């Protein structure tokens, strides 16, 4: 079974082909980062227009490179939501039209379920049930993944997502978009003892997160600093340490309360090396194993959509011809595939 995966929820046009026995056989990604960088962040209308231009030719070149004929496809998975509605519409429309023309099924995938399943594409893969920290540009949550489509949210951010906090802080410091990798790179040159930033929500019970206070603190510290390269690097380091500490503290708490023995981290921020190192320590101390995918599968990619699509299609899930992307779509609304 060959499944084509199409991801267009935000600023990447990403594709992959997954095969049930051969695994991931080809991937392609066209990143709009340079275009959006000029505006300091993502401009939704420009994102949609670019997906319209890039998607169809990218599918042709993916198939050619993979040496897979379009007629060999058995199904098409696309990101149905959540995300930018115009961008989602481009992927959903093309996926469903192409599937209709080829007389094969199309399946809409929840973007966050895609992220959660990405570590399954690695050799050292987790298995259900597991605990997961999902940290992306739009979401920050801790959840129990009980089975495919059965997710129970234990805590989430009450304001900004972790990735959003990285992006906003980067913008404040004059660093390019996306902010996460830029801050992480600069933080390596920072002195960890120069500043100590607050760790939000640490003294409150529960598993929720908050990052907007940290953002304000960073803003004030930057305004009162010399505003030079040293201050910039020290602030980047203090900010990164505070985010990592807040995420790690809640993971520690969750591992004690829900001793699944497996912690998965997924979403763009899970590419952060300091976060990975810290969670390795915490997992080990709690007799748990930490799982995360290679960097290219932490951030948005087509492979996670193709794989989630393969799992759902092979379990018999089908949808009708309606094209109904969802800008907002709570993960808790998902259900396991039923035949």
Which residues are at the interface with Zn ion (CB under 5 A)?
136, 300
Select from 173, 269, 297, 305 the one that contacts ligand KG4 (CB under 6 A): 269
Helix, strand or coil for residue 7? strand
Give me the phi and psi of 308, to 5 degrees please. Answer: -60, -40
- Lookup result for tokens 């194993």: 289
Per rule CB under 6 A, is residue 179 in the interface with ligand KG4? yes
Q: Which is nearer to Zn ion, 164 or 300 (CB)?
A: 300
Query: Site mask, ligand KG4, residues 89-128, x = CB under 6 A?
Result: ----------------------------------------
Of residues 134-173, those binding ligand KG4 (CB under 6 A): 136-138, 163, 166-167
Per rule CB under 6 A, is residue 267 in the interface with ligand KG4? yes
- Residue 275 Cβ vs ligand KG4, minimum distance, rounded to whole Å: 7
Q: Which is nearer to Zn ion, 208 or 300 (CB)?
A: 300
The residues near 227 (Cβ < 8 Å, ≥ 6 apart) are none
- Lookup result for tokens 């893969």: 125
163 DSSP assignment: H
Size of the site for ligand KG4 (CB under 6 A): 19
Pairing state of beta strands 23-31 and 75-81? unpaired
Q: Which does 269 bind (CB under 5 to 8 A by kind): Zn ion, ligand KG4, none?
A: ligand KG4
Q: Which does 184 bind (CB under 5 to 8 A by kind): ligand KG4, Zn ion, none?
A: ligand KG4
Name the strands in the sheet holding 130-135, side by side, starting at the edge strand that comes first in the sequence. 150-156, 140-147, 130-135, 262-266, 289-291
The angle at the Cα of 176, spanning 197 to 241, to the nearest 5 degrees, equals: 20
Task: Return the closest-CA partner of residue 267 out of 248, 293, 247, 233.
Answer: 293
Per rule CB under 6 A, is residue 245 in the interface with ligand KG4? no
Of residues 282-301, those binding ligand KG4 (CB under 6 A): 299-300
Q: Which is nearer to Zn ion, 179 or 190 (CB)?
A: 179
Given a contact cutoff of 8 angstroms between Cβ atoms, the answer to whether 269 and 169 are in contact is no
Task: Return the closest-CA partner of residue 81 out of 139, 161, 28, 122.
Answer: 139
| Chain positions contacting ligand KG4, by CB under 6 A | 10, 136-138, 163, 166-167, 178-181, 184, 267-269, 271-272, 299-300
């Amino acid at each position: 079974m060959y499944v084509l995966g199409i991801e267009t929820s935000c600023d990447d046009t990403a594709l992959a082909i997954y095969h049930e026995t051969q695994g991931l056989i080809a991937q392609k990604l066209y990143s709009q980062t340079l275009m959006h960088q000029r505006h300091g962040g993502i401009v939704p209308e420009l994102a949609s227009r670019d997906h319209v231009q890039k998607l169809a030719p990218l599918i042709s070149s993916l198939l050619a490179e993979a040496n897979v004929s379009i007629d060999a496809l058995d199904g098409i998975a696309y990101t149905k939501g959540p995300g930018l509605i115009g961008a989602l519409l481009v992927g959903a429309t093309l996926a469903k039209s192409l599937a209709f023309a080829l007389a094969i099924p199309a399946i809409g995938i929840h973007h966050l379920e895609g992220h959660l399943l990405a570590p399954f594409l690695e050799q050292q893969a987790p298995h259900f049930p597991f605990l997961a920290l999902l940290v992306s540009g739009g979401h920050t949550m801790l959840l129990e993944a009980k089975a495919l489509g059965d997710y129970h949210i234990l805590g989430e951010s009450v304001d900004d997502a972790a990735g959003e906090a990285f992006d906003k802080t980067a913008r404040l410091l004059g660093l390019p978009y996306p902010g996460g990798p830029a801050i992480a790179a600069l933080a390596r040159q920072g002195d960890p003892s120069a500043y100590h930033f607050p760790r939000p929500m640490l003294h409150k019970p529960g598993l929720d997160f908050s990052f907007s206070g940290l953002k304000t603190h960073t803003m004030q510290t930057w305004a009162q600093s010399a505003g030079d390269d040293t201050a910039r690097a020290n602030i980047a380091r203090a900010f990164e340490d505070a985010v990592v500490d807040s995420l790690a503290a809640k993971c520690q708490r969750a591992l004690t309360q829900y001793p699944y023995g497996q912690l998965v981290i997924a979403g763009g921020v899970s590419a952060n090396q300091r976060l990975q190192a810290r969670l390795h320590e915490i997992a080990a101390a709690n007799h748990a194993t930490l799982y995360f995918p290679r960097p290219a599968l932490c951030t948005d990619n087509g492979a996670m959509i193709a794989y989630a699509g393969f799992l759902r299609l092979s379990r018999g899930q089908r949808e009708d011809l309606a094209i109904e992307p969802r800008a907002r779509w709570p993960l808790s609304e998902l259900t396991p595939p039923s035949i």
